[in-house]
Structure 1
Amino acid sequence: MKDVKKWGIYLICPISCFYILPMLIRDTGSAMFILLGAVPILCFANGLYYGVKENKAVMYSLLVGILFLPTIYLFYNSSAIVYTVIFALLSFAGAMIGKGIRWQKR
């Protein structure tokens, strides 16, 4: 239960990115900006912050990918399923870089 509460704090950013930002989509240009610009940057930055603070990067990245799956059917179409892997990998890369930063601080 303690891990769920701890992960919940770090998963607020991806959840808000995945479920609130798509509501701002008005046309194809804004959809591409959000899907290819804003969300990947925020996933990477949040993964970086998570990596500096916590240790379970693989589990966190899997949760980020799983959290994106419902948005495919809510806001996008089935061609957006590839972004599940992309966002999970970006959060994993950020978390690993964050772990490296934390390791260097010691």
Structure 2
Amino acid sequence: MKRRLFTLIPYMVGLTIIFYMLPLLIRDTGSGMFILLLVIPVLTFICSITYGIKQGFDLLFSFAVAILFVPTILIYYNLSAWIYIIVYALISLAGNGIGKIFHKRKQR
């Protein structure tokens, strides 16, 4: 379990930067929607695929993505952004699953 948590750290640092620094670039509603609906999901998906390729499928990763995003709602957004917790967790789950496919091929 300790090793499993240790493998999450670099990815969680990357996602922390994505979730907490990108909203600083929001200047108006358009840029906010662009970041919230396109940039963050794409970067989360890429990070999840990378994790899946290197570590295999892990539900803990998607759970950590969801938990990591929660404070950003209170810091940058309003309560209507709660749905993005589920959206980003599902995107992470999909990316992790796709990465797992390549993880199996890598092991052969």
**Normalising TM by the smaller chain, what interval?**
over 0.9
| Helix, strand or coil at the partner of 1:20 | helix
| Percent identity of paired positions between Structure 1 and Structure 2 | 43
Q: Which residue does the alignment assign to 2:4? A: 3
Q: Which residue does the alignment assign to 1:28? A: 29
Does structure 1 residue 42 correspond to structure 2 residue 46? Answer: no
Structure 1: gaps of 5 or more residues? none
Conservation of the 8 A alpha-carbon contact between 2:55 and 2:103:
no
C-alpha separation between the residues in 1 aligned to 2:58 and 2:47? Answer: 11
C-alpha separation between the residues in 1 aligned to 2:35 and 2:17? Answer: 12
Q: How does 1:55-94 map to 2 (within 5 A)?
A: 55-94=56-95
Q: 1-10 or 71-80: which moved more?
A: 1-10
Q: 73-82 or 50-59: which moved more?
A: 50-59
Conservation of the 8 A alpha-carbon contact between 2:56 and 2:99:
no
C-alpha separation between the residues in 2 aligned to 1:88 and 1:7? Answer: 15
C-alpha separation between the residues in 2 aligned to 1:57 and 1:85? Answer: 16
| Helix, strand or coil at the partner of 1:18 | helix
C-alpha separation between the residues in 1 aligned to 2:92 and 2:14? Answer: 12
Q: Which residue does the alignment assign to 1:15? A: 16
Structure 1 stretches of at least 4 aligned residues deviating more than 3 Å after TM superposition:
none
Conservation of the 8 A alpha-carbon contact between 2:50 and 2:99:
yes
TM-score (norm 2): 0.92
| Helix, strand or coil at the partner of 1:82 | helix
TM-score (norm 1): 0.94
